[in-house]
A and B are shown apart, each in its own frame.
Chain A
Amino acid sequence: MGRLFAVVVSVIALVSAAIFAFHVWWLPPDISTHGVRIDRQMNETMVVAGALFVLGQLALAVFVWRFSASETRAVKSFPGGPTPLVVLATVLVGIEILVLTFVGSKVWADVYQTPPAPGSLQVEVLGEQFAFYFRYAGADGKFGAMHPELMSDATENFFGLDPANDTTARDDIVVGSLVIPVNQPVELRMHAKDVNHSFYVPELRIQQDFVPGLVIPLHFTATTPGKYELVCTQLCGLGHYNMRAFVEVKPRADFDQWLKEKAAAL
């Protein structure tokens, strides 16, 4: 039975690892400037963790195979006692932790602890049960103030703007898709209207929660034109699974044209 156990564990470990190694299911291609480094960090972690996983499972398998019951043989203790194992684990895992932390925290810091590049396109994002809405400042470059008491889905006043009294709000463009120009830094300012939501675009390698009561900044640069899906990853209620929007990355000229059309329709 020890041999059976060893074989089953080995097969499970090797098949599982092979599916990872051959990228049978894998991340979609990256379309952001910072994503390359996240992918590299992911790959490095995958190699290290994968090695530990396979080695751990195989060691278990080998020991179980080798030391199955035989009532005649005297038991032997592990050579050197626990000390070599403690040293092995501490050194091996310790080095791994140091490396991952040094490299990884730099990747993290570059995405979340740096200010957005000057000249970033400013877009306000509103997360609500169960949709995202996006706001561009319009011709005046200014966002109208948000008034929760004026928010109304029925009249499409998702951001609670007050165009009657607030002239900066009149030219704000509010749409249901995030349209951005390629290769231009974008800065989002994220508002939650009701409960927690999250902003996740797998291809952009970016994810960030919306928190009610806070305005959360997020910035990135998209490098490949196309249409991608933005989904909510923070449980927000019954329509959570259907809370999504599309991110359209357009060439600069197309983006300008789109913005002009939207402004004209106001």
Chain B
Amino acid sequence: MIARFIALAALVSVSSGIAGPPHRAPPLPAGTISGKVTYTGTLPKLRPIDMAKEPNCVTQHPTPVMTQDAVTGPANSVRYVVVYISAGDQGAPAATDTVHYDQKGCLYIPHVAAMQVHQPLAIFNDDPHSHNIHPLARVNPEWNKSQPKGAPPIRTSWDQPEFIAVKCNVHPWMHGYFVVLVTPHFTVTDSTGEFSLTGLPAGKYTVTAWHERFGTQSQEVTIGGSETKTANFVLTARPY
């Protein structure tokens, strides 16, 4: 029960975008890169997810859930963007805290989970029925496992950096991502689109923002010491 509580707490922390491993003391002095991700262009029309085949998921959502491939917030902010250091990082041993990935109400929570290579990952099924978890990995070994009601969590990790689409074949609308990165400096934006990468030693970095639908953008940022630099991203949205 306690483990479950901790799990949920960690889950909240991951989904709210403070995914950086908190337990490691950052080297001092350390800089920060922060910014906001927004979009231009026309958004694709969000569609309500039709969960009719799984009635108890329908009842869990009094208002219909929309597709999650292009979730935006106020002032054109973009949610579920993974912002991370793609070059210039010295690398670090894998974080040891467990990333939690939940299946609840026939949705993946969070929709996008970022983690380091070799970082422990635990997948829970909170629904009163079976799901299958099918990470469509290409670099890492692909697997496909069912998790019936009452089955223990699936504990695993990934050995290679990769953007892995995750799907549930039983509920085809369930779709998410495991973003496996080498760097310990990464975050996933919330609905404000804002992000902040902390604890960066002085150096020249490439910061990359990735979104499942709007693509990838990178910027070079140089950190001189204990300073905060801004890097904003503007992604292009297309209606189809």
Contacts and interface: CB of A to CB of B under 8 A. Distances in A.
A164 interface: yes
Interface string A65-104: 0000000000000000000000000000000000000000
Interface stretch (A13-21, A42-50, A148-156): A148-156
A214 interface: no
B172 A131 contact: yes
Interface of B is mostly: loop
B43 to A, nearest CB: 12
B24 interface: no
Interface string B90-120: 0000000000000000000000000000000
Contacts of B213: 155
B132 interface: yes
Contact of B51 (A130, A132, A176, A237): A176
Given A164-B240, A175-B52, A176-B53, A130 B69 contact: no
A130 B170 contact: yes
A130 B131 CA distance: 11
Contact of A154 (B48, B51, B175, B240): B175
Contacts of A266: 45
Interface in A120-175: 128-132, 153-156, 158, 162-164, 175
Interface string B170-190: 111101000000000000000
B230 interface: no
Given A176-B52, A177-B52, A238-B146, A128 B170 contact: no
Measured as residues with beta carbon below 8 angstroms from the partner, the interface class of chain B is 20 to 34
A212 to B, nearest CB: 16
Interface string A218-251: 0000000000000000000111001111100000
A265 interface: yes
A129 B52 CA distance: 16
Nearest to A236: B169
A54 to B, nearest CB: 43
A39 B51 CA distance: 33
A155 B50 contact: no
Interface of A is mostly: loop
B50 A153 contact: no
B49 interface: yes
B56 to A, nearest CB: 12
Given A163-B240, A164-B240, A156 B52 contact: no
B157 interface: no
A176 B50 contact: yes
A156 B173 CA distance: 7
Contacts of A265: 48
A245 B49 contact: no
B133 to A, nearest CB: 11
A131 B171 contact: yes
> Looking at A154, A158, A164, A245, which has the most chain B CB atoms within 10 Å of its CB?
A154
A243 B54 CA distance: 10
A235 B67 CA distance: 29
B169 A238 contact: yes
Contacts of A163: 240
B210 to A, nearest CB: 15
Interface in B52-71: 52-53, 67, 69
B67 A242 contact: no
A245 B240 contact: no
Contacts of B52: 175-177, 245-246
B160 interface: no
Contacts of B146: 238-239
Nearest to A194: B169
Nearest to B177: A154
Contact of A128 (B165, B172, B212): B172
Given A131-B172, A175-B52, A154 B167 contact: yes
Contacts of B50: 156, 175-177
A244 B140 CA distance: 32
A167 B146 CA distance: 39
9 contacts: A129-B169, A131-B53, A131-B172, A154-B165, A155-B67, A164-B239, A176-B50, A238-B169, A245-B53
Given A129-B169, A156-B67, A176-B53, 14 more contacts: A131-B170, A154-B69, A155-B67, A155-B69, A155-B213, A156-B49, A156-B50, A177-B50, A237-B169, A238-B170, A239-B170, A242-B129, A245-B52, A265-B48
